Chain A
């Protein structure tokens, strides 16, 4: 079992829809969780961090953390074509990244 697993892609949604990206992790002591966005040919950039159970909202992005179930998710509301990218889930306890989910938002 991988330490961080993301839902297999690619994921395709129409413009304006909600995109849901999921991530599970195996290390129960992990305290910090991050979502990075990586455009093709570019390096990852942080879009959300979350440390406590519950929801954290930032504009069109919402991160959800459930430590008991060991999953973290990212919701993108009103998806735009510019959101098309690979999204990486990171669990900071060991600087471990998931393999990424590639999202395509179709106009």
Chain B
């Protein structure tokens, strides 16, 4: 079974803090994605990566950056957390661009 894990299920941070969300997949998938999910707004793509050290902006990259130093790990960074970044963050991976995505359990981030 494909397994995608995320470093935390719940996280509480203060405004202005630097926040790291980690995602690891164990199936040698090429592609990894970060989404945020908010009520009424659905799943929105923040960043994705097709290879190590490669990254592409999604629909809402502002306020976020990412890092992919190893194939299995994709990190989302909030350089200076703000209250409007309070959300559920979902990581996903896929073998190829036309394939299904496997999701991690999600991290519910609250920024106070």
Interface residues of A (CB under 8 A from B): 31-32, 34, 42-46, 49, 51, 88, 90, 92, 94-100
Contact = CB atoms under 8 A, between A and B. Distances in A.
Given A44-B103, A46-B100, A94-B45, 18 more contacts: A32-B98, A43-B103, A43-B104, A43-B105, A44-B90, A46-B102, A49-B100, A51-B98, A88-B43, A90-B101, A92-B97, A95-B33, A95-B48, A96-B45, A97-B35, A98-B42, A99-B40, A99-B41
Contacts of B41: 99
Interface string B73-112: 0000000000000000010000001111111111000000
Size category of the B interface is 20 to 34
Nearest to B43: A97
A92 B45 CA distance: 12
Contact of A99 (B33, B35, B42, B104): B42
